[in-house]
């Protein structure tokens, strides 16, 4: 019985390490412009996850591209889709700089 627990713990640890490695490689490749980051909105009840790319244009420096992920909580749970709706709470999870040519 103890042998199976050790084997299960090793499998869980290995799976966790593979997941962390995959997330790291994905973030690195998005940062260097090797792959295009996914964009869109995922909704589950009042909870929303928004992911998008944006280009920051400035007259003082060259343009910079960013990939940003936000999580928000909607005020109302109406079913109809609106282009803009108020959020009760929002928090930026991450912002990753990407090449501006890949940010579109």
Give mean pLDDT, residues 67-81: 75
pLDDT at 13: 96
Number of domains making up the chain:
2
pLDDT at 8: 93
pLDDT (tens digit per residue) in 20-65: 999 899 888 888 878 877 788 888 888 888 888 888 887 888 888 8
Q: What is the DSSP string of the chain?
A: -HHHHHHHHHHHHHHHHHHHHHHHHHHHHHHTTSSPPP-EEEEETTEEEEEEEEEE--SSS--EEEEEEEEEEES---SS--S---EEEEEEEEEEEE-GGG--
My answer on whether 71 and 86 are in the same domain is: yes
My answer on whether 73 and 26 are in the same domain is: no
My answer on whether 79 and 95 are in the same domain is: yes
């Amino acid at each position: 019985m103890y042998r199976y627990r050790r084997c299960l713990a090793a499998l869980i640890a290995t799976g966790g390490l593979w997941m962390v490695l995959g997330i790291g490689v994905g973030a690195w490749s998005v940062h260097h412009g090797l792959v295009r980051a996914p964009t869109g909105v995922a909704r589950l009840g009042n909870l929303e996850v928004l992911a998008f790319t944006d280009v920051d244009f400035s007259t003082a420096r060259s343009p910079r591209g960013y990939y940003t992920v936000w999580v928000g909580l909607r005020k109302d749970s109406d079913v109809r889709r609106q282009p803009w709706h108020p959020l009760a709470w929002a928090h930026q999870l991450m912002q990753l700089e990407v090449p501006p040519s890949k940010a579109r």
